[in-house]
Structure 1
Amino acid sequence: MRVTGLIRVLAVIGTLVATWLFLRSYHNFNRRNIRLPRWLGMATQEIRAPKTKCGLSKPCPDNFFAFKICSGAANVVGPSMCFENEIIMSPVKNNVGRGLNIALVNGTTGQVLRKDSFDMYSGDANLLVRFLAEIPEGTLVLVASYDDPGTKMNGQIRKVFADLGSSYAEQLGFRDSWVFLGAKDLKGKSPFEQYLKNNPNTNKYEGWPELLELEGCVPRKVF
């Protein structure tokens, strides 16, 4: 009788020990399973998408230049231009002004040749005429409006911009928003242009349309 009771006690103890070992192993297994997704989540957070030039939504192919042009916002925030990840004109650089802001870039090397702003409200349009007449062959022309790009724009200036590939230079007027990338002696119209008419019924800002943002990849030697 005593032997039978001892066997029962040992059997119970053995069952408890086996149960404890099983639960311990199961708990450790679950902990490992829980930790794995956390580790994967941390690794995923550390992976970052590669940065693109000028913050474009996708990188440009080889033999293409990346660019982004933003017009001014009313008469408060000046325009900006980025070319191949270099900010070439912006309010921070303090090299933008009321009217038309223009940068000339070598269409083969991507080198910035010249940049300037022209007051098209009270300034002398002849300065812009001379500037445009001196654009070298094979040059990309980046343009961003600020406040008022059209009041002083005459027929000669409009024709030059049309020859550079603009579709909207002929109708550009008082306080319109305009961003454009063209090229010297471009054959046809440029695909890189945005235009918004100053309209009291649709203006985002009081007296001005909203700012425009133009980005893309322009091939070398597009002219």
Structure 2
Amino acid sequence: MRKHAIGCVYAIGMCILLSLLTFNNICVTRPSVQFKHNQDDARPSRTCASPKDCPSNSIAVYIRSGLANAIGPEICINGELILSGTKINVGIGLNTVLLNGSSGGIISSGFYTGADKMLDFLRGIGPGQILLVASYDDPSIILKEESRELLRGLGSSAAQTLGTRDGWLFAGQKGAEGSAFEKHISSDEKTNTFDKWPAVIEISGCFKKT
């Protein structure tokens, strides 16, 4: 009887341990793909915030930064969610959506964790294309000097001075002077909302179809 009881306790203990290990493995799993060039991966799953005063021949965008390193950013097009943590298609670094400026269609979407691939991407942006960017955790390490210069050419005024763990959002169209808008908040331990990270920021606006 005593051996039976010990065996039951051992079995229950092993089950609990296995459950905990399995749970932990699920919890720490992160997407392994750095960037997706597949429109199917960017299909909207629900509606989200969008500017209400955009004319019918325009593209409405809404962008929200990530919360510290815990909750991913959001990027929405015409009221539809494209990138978010709930869709499991965002990642630490810089999250981007590239749009066709004429149709508003998604050319590519995903996230960058490496500076070289981010630079290659920025070099390939064509005239009239619209770039949307949302930071998550630390965007500064993803930007080489040339990347910052290319973003300045797209209309960014903050890319040149972006620092460690700053919050940053950007939307700009290549070749359309004066069309860009962005928001930048510096990380400062004296004023940060979340320890090493500043508060969540958001922007919204409209791009006229070309």
TM-score tier, shorter chain, comes to: 0.7 to 0.9
Count of aligned pairs: 164
2:76 equivalent to 1:82: yes
Distance change in 2, residues 1:67/1:54 (3 Å): farther
CA contact (8 A) 1:167 1:189 kept: no
* 2:4 match: none
CA deviation vs aligned residue, 1:85-139 (integer Å, no higher than 9, x gap): 22111111111000100110011101000012111xxx3x111111111112210
Structure with higher helix content = 1
Q: Distance in 2 between matches of 1:57 and 1:187?
A: 21
CA contact (8 A) 1:164 1:183 kept: yes
2:202 equivalent to 1:213: yes
Q: What is the 5 A alignment of 1:2-41?
A: none
Q: Distance in 2 between matches of 1:87 and 1:112?
A: 12
CA RMSD across the alignment: 1.5
* 1:148 match: 138
Q: What is the 5 A alignment of 1:99-118?
A: 99-118=93-112
2:167 equivalent to 1:177: yes
CA displacement at 1:188 relative to structure 2: 4.2
CA displacement at 1:154 relative to structure 2: 1.5
CA displacement at 1:80 relative to structure 2: 0.6
Amino acid at match of 1:115: S
What is the TM-score normalised by the length of structure 2?
Answer: 0.74
What is the TM-score normalised by the length of structure 1?
Answer: 0.70
Q: What is the 5 A alignment of 1:37-76?
A: 54-56=48-50, 58-76=52-70
2:185 equivalent to 1:204: no
Structure 1 counterpart of 2:92, from 98, 116, 127: 98
Amino acid at match of 1:160: L
CA displacement at 1:153 relative to structure 2: 1.8
Q: Distance in 1 between matches of 2:187 and 2:80?
A: 30
Amino acid at match of 2:56: D
Q: Distance in 1 between matches of 2:149 and 2:131?
A: 15
* 1:165 match: 155
Amino acid at match of 2:85: P
